[in-house]
Structure 1
Amino acid sequence: MLLAAVLISAAGLTGIIRAVALKRQLLDIPNHRSSHQRPTPKGGGLAFVITFLMALTGLVLTHAIPLSIYLALMAGGLITAVVGYVDDLRELSPKIRIISHVGAAAIGLLCIGGMPPLNLGFTVWHWGWIGHAVGVLGLVWTINLYNFMDGIDGIAASEAVFASVAGGALLIAAGTADLGTISLVLAAACAGFLIWNWPPAKIFMGDTGSGFLGYMLGLLAIAGSGSSRMTLWLWGLLLGVFIVDTLVTLVTRVRAGRKWSQAHRSHAYQHLTIRWGSHLKVTLAVNLINVLWLLPLAVAAWQWPPGSLVLAAAGLVPLLITAVVLKAGQESFSSTISSSGS
C-alpha cells in the first residue's frame, strides 16, 4: 500500500508541477548542447523529492527506520535538492554547487557513522580516518554523475528505478529491511515521475531531481555496504552504465584540456542517441543492459561476496570498452536529436 501511494502521489504531483511550469514558462530551452528540440517544462524532480521525503518521515515516525539514516537522507537530500532547484531557476557557479555537495556529503556520512569496511574479496579493509574523505568524494561524485547522465528522456529516472528496486530487494534478502524499504520507496517515487518523463518526455527532472537521486543512491550504497553481502562492488554493478560512461567521458575530456564542469554532449549515450536518432531506443538499451547483464552479476555478487570485485570487473570492463568505442568524451557536432523517441 505504501509503495502504491507513493507512486500515485509522485505521478499526481508531477502533473501539477508540469501545469505550473507551463503557466509560468519555466521551460528548458534547447541549445546547441541539448538533445531536445522542443521547450519542455523542467523542475519535475521536485515531485519525487517531496513525495519521497514525506514517506521517509512517515517511516521514521512509525519506527520503521533508524533516526540516523533518516537524518542522513533528509539533511543531505534537502541540500542537494534546494541547490539543484536554485540552479534550475538561475544557473549557479560550479564552485557553489561543489561546496554545497561536499557539505551534504559530509553531513550524511556523519549521520551514518562514516564508511563501512570495504570488502575487497580477498580481505576486508577498515578505512580509518581516510574513509571520511573517500566517502565525501564518492558522494560528490555520484551527485554530479547523475547530473551528467540526465541528458535524454527517461534515462536517469529509469536507472534510479532499476537500481532502487534491485538494491532494495537484495538489501531485504540480506536482512537489512530498513534500508531495503527506503530503497523501494525511492523506486516508487521515481516510477511515478517516470510516467511523465518516459520518451517522449512531458517534463524534465532538472538539477532538482538529478542531484537528489545521485545523493540518495550514493548514500544508500554506502550505508547498505555495511551488510556482509551488499558490497560496494555490487552497487557499482547496479549503477555500472552511469559510472563507466561518466568516468570515460570525464577522463577523455580532462586529457583533452577541457573543463570538466563545462556543458557538453559527448557522453557515450549521447553519441548513441545521435547515431540512432532516438531517445527511446537508447533508454531501452540501457535498461536491457541493466536487467540482462548487470543484474545477474549483481545477484551473483550478493551470493558470493568474496568474489564481488571480480564480478564487478567482469561486468564493467565490457561497458568501458563500449564507451571507448562510442567515443565517450569526444565532441560531436551532429544536429540536435528530437525527443520523439521514434
Structure 2
Amino acid sequence: MTLAVVPSPWLPAVLAAGVSFVAADAWRRFALHRQLLDAPGPRRLHQQPTPRGGGIAIALVLLAAAAWLGQGVAAFFVGLVVTAGAGLVDDLRNLSALPKLLLQGLGALPLAWAWPLAPELLGTGGGFAAALLLVLVLVNFWNFMDGSNGLAASQALLVGVGLAGLTGLASPAGWLGLMLAAACLGFLPHNLPKARLFLGDVGSHALGFAVAGLSLHALSRSDAGFWPLLLLPSTMLLDAGLTLLGRLLRRQKVWQAHREHLYQRAVAHGWSHSRICAVYFAWSGLALLLACCLAPASEATQAVATLAWLVAGAALYFWAGRFWPRRENLMESVG
C-alpha cells in the first residue's frame, strides 16, 4: 500500500533535520564506545581518529520519508536498505571492493526496474541498464567525493533543494528531495567546520542512491527534464569523473584508494576543508540556479546550456589543477 497524498513539507522538514542531528549524535557516541574510528593515513585528509558511519542518520530519515514516494516506494526502500547496508557493513568491519560493488548492484536492481531511464528512447532493456549504471555511478562518485569535511553532505543538500525546486513540493520526488536536504542539514553540524563524525560509506551510499533514485522518479513522471536534473550533481560528476578518467589513462588501478581528486589536491596544497566546501557549494549553487532558469526552456536550449556548463566546469577543473598539481609522494594508492 502506498500513500497518494504528499503532506505539508515544512513541519516534516524540521523534524527530519532534528532527527538527523540527534541520531547522528547518538551514533557518534556509539562509534566512540565501539572504537569505530577512521584513523589518519596516506589517503586521508584528517589528522585525528574520527568516528565513522554517522550517515546512518540520513539513511534512516530517507527510509521513513520514502513512504510518500507513491508508486515504486518498495523499490526505493529495499534498494536503499541494501545499498546503505553495504556501506554500513564496510564501516563496521571493512568490505572488499568486489562484494561491495555486487551489493550496490543488487540495491540498484529494484530501482532500475521501477524507473528505467528514458525507455521510450533506449527501450525497456536499455532503459533498465542505463538506470542501473546511473545508480552505481552516483553511489560510487558520492563515495569517492566523501573525503573532505562537509563536502558530500552539502552537495546532496543542494541536489535535494534543486529537486524540490524543479519538481515542486507537490511532487513526491520534490517532497523527498526536501527531506534529503533537511537530513543533510541536520548532519552537517557534526561534520563542518571540524569533523566530529564522518558520513562513512553508509552515508555516502545513501546520498548517492537517493540522488539517483529521486532523479529517476522525477524523470519517470516527467516532473523535470533530463538536462536540468543533470546539472544538479554536475560538480560531483566532474571532479569524480575527470579524476577517474585521468587514472584510467595513466593505467592506474581505479578501484584503489587515492588522493587525486581536485578537492584532495587543494587540501594537500594548504586549502582548508571549509574553504573547499564553500567553493564547491558556490559552484553547485550556480548550477542549481541555472537548472531552475532552464526548466521552462526548450529541450534543445537545455541541452546546449548544460553541455556548455559541463565544458566550463571541465576547463575550470584543469585550470585549477595547474595550481594544485598531483604530488606523487602523496597520491600513491593504498590497498
The TM-score normalised by the length of structure 1 is 0.88
Gapped regions of structure 2 (runs ≥ 5): 1-10
In 2, Cα distance between equivalents of 1:266 and 1:110: 35
Residues of 1 paired with 2:184 and 2:123: CA distance?
A: 33
Amino acid at match of 2:61: T
Determine if the alignment matches structure 1 residue 233 to structure 2 residue 227.
Answer: yes
Cross-structure match for 1:139: 135
How high is the sequence identity, in percent, across the aligned residues? Answer: 30
Match of 2:46 among 17, 36, 48: 36
User: Do residues 252 (structure 1) and 246 (structure 2) align?
Assistant: yes
Which of 282, 294, 301 lines up with 2:287 in the alignment? Answer: 294
Q: How much has 1:12 moved relative to structure 2? A: 0.7
In the alignment, what sits opposite 2:198?
A: 204
Deviation at 1:301, TM superposition (A): 2.2
What corresponds to 1:303 in structure 2?
296
Write the distance in 2 (CA, Å) between the matches of 1:117 and 1:26.
43
- 1:95-110 correspondence runs (5 A): 95-110=98-113
Q: Does 1:24 align with 2:24?
A: no
Structure-1 residue corresponding to 2:272: 278
Q: Deviations over 1:204-237 (max 9, x none)?
A: 0000110111011011112212354612221221
Alpha-carbon distance in 2 for matches of 1:44, 1:232: 32
Superposition deviation, residue 146 in structure 1: 0.4
CA positional deviation for 1:69: 2.8
The CA distance in 2 between the partners of 1:56 and 1:219, in whole Å, is: 11
Contact 2:76 2:110 in 1 (8 A): no
In 1, distance between residues paired with 2:51 and 2:107?
Answer: 27
CA contact (8 A) 1:153 1:197 kept: yes
Secondary structure of the 2:269 match is helix
User: Residue 332 of structure 1 is aligned with which of 315, 323, 327?
Assistant: 327
- Counterpart code for 2:287: L
Given that residues 231 and 306 in structure 2 are in contact (C-alpha distance below 8 angstroms), is that contact kept between their aligned partners in structure 1?
Answer: yes
Q: How does 1:217-232 map to 2 (within 5 A)?
A: 217-228=211-222, 230-232=224-226
Q: Which residue of 2 aligns with 1:62?
A: none
1:59-107: CA deviation from partner (whole Å, max 9, x where unpaired): 3xxxxx31x3311221110011110011112221211111111111111
Compared CA separation, residues 12 and 32, structure 1 to 2 (3 A)? same
What amino acid maps onto 2:111 in structure 1? G
For 1:334 and 1:184, the matched residues in 2 are separated by 42
For these two proteins, the number of residue pairs brought into alignment is 319
Does 321-330 or 128-137 show the bigger shift? 321-330
Residues of 2 paired with 1:324 and 1:204: CA distance? 29
Which consecutive segments of 4 or more residues in structure 1 shift more than 4 A? 328-331, 333-336
Letter in 2 for 1:136: L
Between the aligned partners of 1:333 and 1:251, the Cα distance in structure 2 is 17
* TM-score computed with the length of structure 2 as normaliser: 0.90
> Which residue of the other structure, out of 11, 17, 31, is the alignment partner of 1:7?
17
Distance in 1 (CA, whole Å) between partners of 2:293 and 2:93 is 45
| Uncovered stretches (5+) of structure 1, i.e. residues with no partner | 60-64, 119-124, 337-342
